[in-house]
């Protein structure tokens, strides 16, 4: 009994030390950010508002943007048409913590506050007609920028959510060195599109031409312009990017990518109670588990789960089990589960089930 009590006390001590270490890391990260922001302001960096594409229903709109401080030489990197921008340059801008942001949508005006990473991500309760609308955003000292927001009609029943890494582009993300190379060094010209996936998704758009397309990724907001250019250059359907932020939180050393995806899927279920989603991902990370968990909780919100199987070579690079190894994934009876290595094989199966 004494041995068991000693083991329990040791575990409690380790947990306390770990929790304190995480808190210290979080506080250090915040101090570093405040130092960078003060230094950027002192050298005359320019406030820049970056407006990301949003989406919404006839009763709400999700507005996405980011307030940054940029040197004059990097201002052009916010331009979607900018060429040959290395990934690492996306991480040199300094977020404006808790920036005050003005937002205009049609005749509506809102005054918002960004989070500590300068990110604006908020659902606004506003009634808009279905279709495209223009969102204008501005923070103190910045120019006003524009982006589009796509409003989904209440009668729309199908939407598409797609992962990015190893689903629409081949990145071998789970390998830390390759992930760093892809994020910090490569530009969008060097990234490889997944064979057939753009054609498959374009066919989905033509079959469900009023459907929203959302790209849900664990990538950082810093690489949003690069991802947007990649998707446009490779003819993927236009749609909002749902990204995250890096760095420690109050209870973790790094933000949980799986939790980010789960939270966004549940947000979609709440905001679009009438919608059934085609969920597209790959078996290189946790998409099968995330999507199967979602369909268990919200079976009425899933039209199909589409999993792109990594090739054996891709699986080795990604550090994941080979495709012939079983995963512990269960799905409710009646759930449409489709797997294939490329867009062509997935397209055939979607067509067979009347979704394409």
Residue 223 has a pLDDT of: 82
Q: Rounded distance, CA 115 to CA 285, Å?
A: 28
Q: Rounded distance, CA 138 to CA 144, Å?
A: 5
Q: Rounded distance, CA 241 to CA 238, Å?
A: 9
Query: HSE (CB half, 13 Å, CA atoms) of 136?
Result: 9
Q: Do residues 224 and 248 make contact, with C-beta atoms less than 8 angstroms apart?
A: no
329 sits in the region (left: phi over 0; alpha: psi -120 to 50; else beta) called beta
Residue 285 has a pLDDT of: 77
- Count Cβ atoms below 10 Å from residue 32 Cβ, excluding itself: 11
- Each residue's pLDDT, cut to its tens digit, for the chain (356 residues) gives 555 556 666 556 655 655 565 455 556 766 766 667 677 667 778 999 999 999 999 999 999 999 999 876 555 444 443 444 455 455 667 899 999 999 999 999 999 999 988 999 999 999 999 999 999 999 999 999 999 999 999 999 999 999 998 899 887 555 555 555 555 555 666 678 999 999 999 999 999 999 999 999 988 888 888 889 899 999 999 999 999 876 554 444 445 678 999 999 999 999 999 999 999 999 887 899 999 999 999 999 999 999 999 877 777 666 665 544 555 688 888 899 999 999 999 999 999 999 99
Name the β-bridge partners of 158.
276
What predicted TM-score, i.e. pTM, was given to this entire model? 0.83
* Six-digit token string for 137: 């955003």
Distance of CA 202 to the CA centre of its chain: 20
Q: Do residues 272 and 252 make contact, with C-beta atoms less than 8 angstroms apart?
A: no
215 sits in the region (left: phi over 0; alpha: psi -120 to 50; else beta) called beta
Buried b (16+ CB within 10 A) or exposed e, 218-248: bbbbbbbbbbbbbbeebebbebbbbbbbebb
Residue 152 has a pLDDT of: 97
Residue 77 has a pLDDT of: 45
Residue 235 has a pLDDT of: 95
Residue 297 has a pLDDT of: 96
* Six-digit token string for 94: 């300094």
* Six-digit token string for 282: 């790959």
Q: Rounded distance, CA 136 to CA 43, Å?
A: 28
């Amino acid at each position: 009994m004494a041995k068991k009590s000693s083991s329990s006390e040791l575990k409690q001590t380790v947990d306390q030390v770990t929790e304190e270490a995480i808190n210290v890391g979080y506080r250090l990260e915040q101090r570093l950010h405040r130092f960078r922001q003060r230094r950027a302001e002192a050298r005359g960096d320019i406030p820049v508002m970056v407006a990301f594409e949003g989406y919404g229903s006839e009763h709400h709109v999700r507005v996405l943007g980011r307030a940054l401080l940029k040197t004059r030489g990097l201002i052009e990197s916010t331009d979607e048409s900018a060429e040959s921008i290395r990934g690492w340059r996306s991480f040199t801008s300094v977020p404006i913590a808790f920036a005050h942001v003005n937002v205009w949508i049609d005749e509506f005006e809102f005054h918002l506050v960004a989070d500590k990473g300068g990110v604006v991500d908020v659902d606004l309760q506003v009634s808009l007609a279905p279709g495209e609308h223009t969102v204008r955003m501005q923070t103190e000292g910045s120019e006003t920028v524009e982006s589009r927001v796509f409003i989904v009609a209440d009668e729309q029943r199908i939407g598409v959510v797609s992962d990015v890494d190893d689903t629409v582009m081949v990145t071998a993300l789970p390998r830390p060195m390759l992930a760093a190379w892809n994020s910090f060094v490569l530009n969008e010209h060097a990234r490889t599109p997944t064979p057939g996936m753009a054609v498959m998704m374009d066919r989905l758009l033509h079959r469900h031409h009023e459907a929203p397309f959302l790209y849900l990724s664990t990538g950082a907001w810093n690489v949003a312009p690069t991802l947007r250019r990649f998707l446009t250059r490779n003819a993927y359907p236009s749609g909002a990017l749902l990204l995250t932020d890096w760095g420690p939180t109050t209870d973790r050393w790094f933000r949980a990518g799986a939790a980010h995806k789960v939270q966004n899927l549940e947000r979609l279920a709440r905001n679009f109670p009438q919608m059934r989603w085609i969920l597209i991902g790959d078996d290189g990370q946790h998409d099968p588990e995330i999507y199967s968990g979602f369909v268990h909780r919200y079976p009425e919100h899933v039209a199909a789960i589409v999993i792109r199987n990594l090739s054996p070579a891709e699986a080795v690079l990604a550090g994941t089990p080979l495709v012939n190894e079983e995963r512990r994934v269960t799905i409710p009876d009646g759930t449409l589960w489709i797997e294939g290595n490329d867009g062509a094989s997935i397209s055939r199966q979607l067509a067979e089930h009347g979704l394409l």
